[in-house]
Amino acid sequence: MALVTQPLISSPTISEPAKACWHVLGVGSLGSLWATRLAQAGHEVRLILRDAERLSAYQAAGGYLRLQQPQQQSCTDYALAAETPDTITSIQRLVVACKAYDVVSALKPLLSRLQGAEVLLLQNGLGSQQAVMEFLPHTRCLLVSSTEGAYRQQPFQVVHAGVGQNWLGDPLRPQQPPEWLKDLAQANIPHVWAENIMGRLWRKLAINCAINPLTVLLRCRNGVLLEHQSQWEPICLELQQLLSSAGHPESAHDLIPEVQQILQATQANYSSMYQDVKQARPTEITYLLGYACTEAQRLGLELPHLQRLHQQLQQELSALGLPSH
Ligand code: NAD
Ligand code: KPL
């Protein structure tokens, strides 16, 4: 097992980093996947952990992230620098990989460090990205729609479970890809510049709305939904209507065959929302069905199947003692 060593910063420092470095906020599944691959390619990477307690836990666990890549039968440890949000160094490039409901509160303590920074937002769904862009009006925010799959085996140990794609884009400057995309290429992080990133995010939201809530309500793996097409087909039709009315007709077509194909390809998997519920963690409902239903209302659309699904999911989450808004 290789060990890549980088200096470990364990306490706040006031020195400026000499060259562009990648900070990663949200060192869970996806954040660890990005951090380790950037480090693998020789980039300077610094992890921003929630607080001193989490930093101590990282150090006590050895002060490294472990990346398992089953496709390559490899397992590699990366001793990455870590710090708390109150560190005083400025941030140039920030990968934000918290859950959608945590993003703004996680960014708040970093505000003074983000002047001139570029921020990559990896969240599923919609709504959190707009909240960050309002919170950071002078910071360039790049939105990412990811179909990669990663899960944590233990704290600071991540498994790269699913090969996928990352679409990156900037809704305010759609034709200006940043020069550092080459860093991602060097790091073998699959990526495509998407001029229509909002369309991509809407499409992924629609797929997640068609699949994830039903897997929670039926308590099943994705593949079981193939036997319940009559339940998700009308939802797909309403989602197509929503995407078109929301200004993304190009992302609205052929949702039913795509959902069917994803259910087949991931039939043995549990959806991310199912896994959150199973582990009694909050879900991203507000940024998926919640966002879809709010937008439908704003646009004056009657989407009864989608609204009923939202209500049923809210009831189920409340019954389980989980947040439903
Ligand atoms: P995760 O729960 O594994 O990781 C989130 C991390 O953020 C946790 O380590 C948590 O401690 C940290 N965090 C929360 N608040 C923080 C704060 N204030 N300061 C510092 N750290 C904080 O989540 P994940 O699975 O990596 O998902 C992240 C986002 O990526 C979600 O929106 C998810 O939908 C999306 N996504 C995940 C995958 C995947 O395969 N895991 C794939 C595509 C999209
Ligand atoms: O993205 C997913 C998720 O679980 O969040 C799908 C596509 C539904 C695969 O499980």
pLDDT more than 90, % of the chain: 92
Q: For residue 17, what pLDDT is reported?
A: 47
Q: Compute the average pLDDT of residues 73-78.
A: 94
Q: Does residue 241 have its Cβ closer than 6 Å to ligand 2?
A: no
Q: Counting atoms of ligand 2 from 1, which one is nearest the CA of 215?
A: 8
Name the band, by pLDDT with cuts 50, 70 and 90, for residue 264. Answer: very high
Residue identifier of the C-alpha nearest atom 40 of ligand 1: 149
Q: What φ, ψ does residue 143 adopt, rounded to 5°?
A: -95, 140
Distance from C-alpha of 186 to C-alpha of 208, rounded to nearest angstrom: 30
CA 28 to ligand 1 center in whole angstroms: 5
Q: Which amino acid is residue 180, in one-letter code?
A: W
The atom number, within ligand 1, closest to the CA of 27 reads 9
Query: Closest-lying ligand to the alpha carbon of 275?
Result: 2
Burial of 33 from C-beta contacts in 10 A (0-12 / 13-18 / 19+)? buried
Per the annotation, the verdict on 278 as an active-site residue is no
Does the CA dihedral 260-261-265-271 come out positive or negative? negative
Average pLDDT (20-32) is 95
pLDDT at 37 over 70: yes
Split at pLDDT 50, 70, 90, the class of 19 is: low
Q: What is the mean pLDDT of residues 50-74?
A: 96
* pLDDT at residue 8, rounded to an integer: 41
CA of 272 to the centre of ligand 2 (A): 6
pLDDT band at residue 325 using 50, 70 and 90 as cut-offs? confident
The residues of the chain that CATH labels 3.40.50.720 are 2-195
Bigger pLDDT: 294 vs 5: 294
Q: Tell me phi and psi for residue 226, to 5 degrees.
A: -60, -30
CA of 14 from ligand 2 middle (Å) equals 41
Pocket lining: 118 vs ligand 1, CB cutoff 6 Å:
no
CATH 1.10.1040.10 domain extents, the chain = 199-318
- Average pLDDT, stretch 47-56? 98
Residue 14 reports pLDDT greater than 70:
no
Between the CA of residue 170 and those of 21, 91, 122, what are the distances in Å? 21, 19, 13
**pLDDT for res 21:** 94
> 211 CB under 6 A from ligand 2?
yes
pLDDT at res. 139 = 97
2-195: what fold? Rossmann fold (3.40.50)
pLDDT at position 72 is 86
Least confident of 9-18, 171-180, 203-212: 9-18
Q: What's the average model confidence in pLDDT over 232-253?
A: 98
pLDDT at 1: 37
* Position 199 pLDDT exceeds 90: yes
CA separation for the pair 203, 258 (Å, rounded): 10
Residue 279: pLDDT over 60: yes
Catalytic residue among 99, 108, 204, 278: 204
Question: Mean pLDDT in the chain?
Answer: 94
Predicted confidence at residue 71, as pLDDT, reads 86
Count helices and strands in the chain by DSSP H and E runs: 11, 13
**Is pLDDT of 98 > 70?**
yes
Q: Is the pLDDT of residue 67 over 80?
A: yes
pLDDT digits (tens, 9 = 90+) for 299-324: 999 999 999 999 999 999 999 999 99
Ligand with an atom nearest the CA of residue 50? 1
Q: How far apart, in whole angstroms, are the C-alpha atoms of residue 236 and residue 209?
A: 9
Indicate whether residue 269 lines ligand 2 (CB < 6 A).
yes
Tokens linked to 136: 């950071």
Q: Are strands 93-96 and 118-121 parallel, antiparallel or unpaired?
A: parallel
Q: How far is the CA of 278 from the centre of ligand 2 (A)?
A: 15
pLDDT over 70, % of the chain: 94
Q: How far is CA 132 from the centre of its chain?
A: 14
Grade residue 3 by pLDDT with cuts at 50, 70 and 90: low
User: Is the pLDDT confidence value at 10 over 60?
Assistant: no
235/78 Cα distance (integer angstroms): 43
Distance 210 CA to ligand 2 centre (A): 10
Beta carbon of 222 within 6 Å of any ligand 2 atom = yes
* CATH code, residues 199-318: 1.10.1040.10
Mean pLDDT over 146-161 rounds to 95
Least confident of 1-15, 27-41, 197-211, 286-300: 1-15
